[in-house]
Amino acid sequence: MNEHLILGQTLRFSGDPFDAPFETVTHISTSGAVLVRDGRIAEMGEAQTLRQKYPQIPVTDYGSDLITAGFVDAHMHYPQTAMIASWGKRLIDWLNTYTFPEEKRFADPDYAADIAGRTLDLALAHGTTTLTSFCTIHPQSVDALFHAADMRGMAVVAGKTCMDRNAPDGLRDDAKSAYDDSKTLIDRWHGTGRATYAITPRFSPTSTPDQLRALGDLWAEHPDCLMQTHLSEQVDEIDWVRGLYPDARDYLDTYEAFGLLGQKGLYGHAIHLEARELDRLSELGAGVVHCPTSNTFIGSGLFDMAGLKARQIPVGLATDTGGGSSFSMLRTMAAAYEIAQLRHVPLHPAQLMWLATEGSAQTLHKAGEIGSLNVGAMADITVLNLQSTPAIAQRSTRTTDLWEALFPTIMMGDDRAIRDVWIAGNRHQPRSA
């Protein structure tokens, strides 16, 4: 039996702070302890109590650093790692100028393996312990990411991106190969170790109705898989969809008509939603994913966090690398706060932390397994130094509680704030450390 005791300030959730007063669903200990046993959280409590109860097991004491669940990035594109922060205008221009040329390179398995490892190491250095990623049309790009995650013990959600139109030569498949390749990858990876497969049409403009229908059939055959795509990111994108699917009631209907709308669907961005779309997402409990740094970087619009949460629509949080301009979920939380402020709905630090951990895990249908510091969850843990820079440290001298101490790190923190990361109970010190 492998046991370890981790000491420090602890933060965990017993409910959604959007649905209940945050004070009733957050649990803070200024001198807490986490008992890790065989890769899972076995017990939570006070440091003195658990040290006396388990006097013989190894201890790591982080003092006043904050122990929290590892961050869960619910939507990103690992093939865009190398071209993150590329100057661009609108989504379609940005795809054609930067994204598609870079994704062609993933026909080379060695290149795919290099970027997969690089992406996961950057994520870990920023405290992210689970990624949900689009790959490219190349099956080897999926193999590369799942293999790299397995080597690090990480839980990863990913799938082959399917496109059979409005994409350049070398980045198009067809309805049959999209189905066949995805099915082979599901058989190879889904449920293997900590891997979860997501059937992945990029978005309606790059798939013909035949391809969407084939992927809908595949999802019906494998309902335990997730399905990820994009929805209503920009207004000119929506106009493009209307032209390509003139019979559709709205953007969401281009998925619904082909069996690609369901509770285990992940719909990235979801900014400019119509009333029917909101109704259907709410009825089915399908998840949407907020990508705030991407939405501001590409000028997409302001996500309606309060409106979606009021409809009981599951919401995850994501970097959307490389449309998003940071690998950091701290920076992502800060951007989510700023967008909510522009909508005149301030988000409490408890709500931001919940979105980056429990909320994202919920959209991935992995609540209680990842993104949680509760007993029974996998011991994927991030430890935050709440005085990581001089600017943050000087602010901390005036704080009166944990939330005031944590908020400057959310707003100004980066990889220097990541004191340590644990993956399935194994310590993984970030390279930047």
Task: DSSP for 324-392, please give it.
Answer: SS-S-HHHHHHHHHHHHHHTT-PPPHHHHHHIIIIIHHHHTT-BTTBS--STTSB--EEEE-TT-SHHH
pLDDT digits (tens, 9 = 90+) for 117-136: 999 999 999 999 999 999 99
Domains identified in the chain, total number: 2
Q: Is the pLDDT of residue 432 over 50?
A: no
Buried b (16+ CB within 10 A) or exposed e, 261-290: bbebbbbbbbbbbeeebbebbeeeebbbbb
Question: Of 346, 363, 380, which residue is a domain's last?
Answer: 363
pLDDT at position 90: 62
pLDDT at position 433: 35
pLDDT tier, 207 (very low <50, low <70, confident <90, very high otherwise): very high
Is residue 321 in a domain? yes
pLDDT digits (tens, 9 = 90+) for 16-75: 999 999 999 999 999 999 999 999 999 999 999 999 999 999 999 999 999 999 999 999
CATH of the domain at 330: 3.20.20.140
Instruction: Identify residue 172 by its one-letter amino acid code.
Output: R
pLDDT at position 82: 83
Contact 433, 418 (CB under 8 A): yes
65 with 76, same domain: the answer is no
What contacts 246, CB < 8 A, 6 or more positions away? none
Contact 204, 255 (CB under 8 A): yes
pLDDT at position 47: 98
Contact 354, 13 (CB under 8 A): yes
Is residue 318 in a domain? yes
Is residue 433 in a domain? no
pLDDT at position 356: 98
Q: Is the pLDDT of residue 84 over 90?
A: no
CATH of the domain at 56: 2.30.40.10
Report the distance separating Cα 256 and Cα 378, nearest Å.
Answer: 34
Q: What is the mean pLDDT of the chain?
A: 95
Range of the domain at 36: 3-70+372-427
pLDDT digits (tens, 9 = 90+) for 366-421: 999 999 999 999 999 999 999 999 999 999 888 899 999 999 999 999 999 999 99
39 with 137, same domain: the answer is no
19 with 133, same domain: the answer is no
Q: Is the pLDDT of residue 89 over 80?
A: no
398 with 313, same domain: the answer is no
Report the distance separating Cα 132 and Cα 119, nearest Å.
Answer: 12
Q: Is the pLDDT of residue 105 over 60?
A: yes
Contact 389, 416 (CB under 8 A): yes
pLDDT tier, 97 (very low <50, low <70, confident <90, very high otherwise): confident
Question: Of 314, 340, 363, which residue is a domain's last?
Answer: 363
pLDDT at position 143: 98
- Which of residues 327 and 89 earns the better pLDDT score? 327
pLDDT at position 397: 84
Question: Of 319, 340, 363, which residue is a domain's last?
Answer: 363
Is residue 432 in a domain? no
pLDDT at position 189: 98
pLDDT tier, 325 (very low <50, low <70, confident <90, very high otherwise): confident
How distant is the alpha carbon of residue 225 from its chain centre? Answer: 16
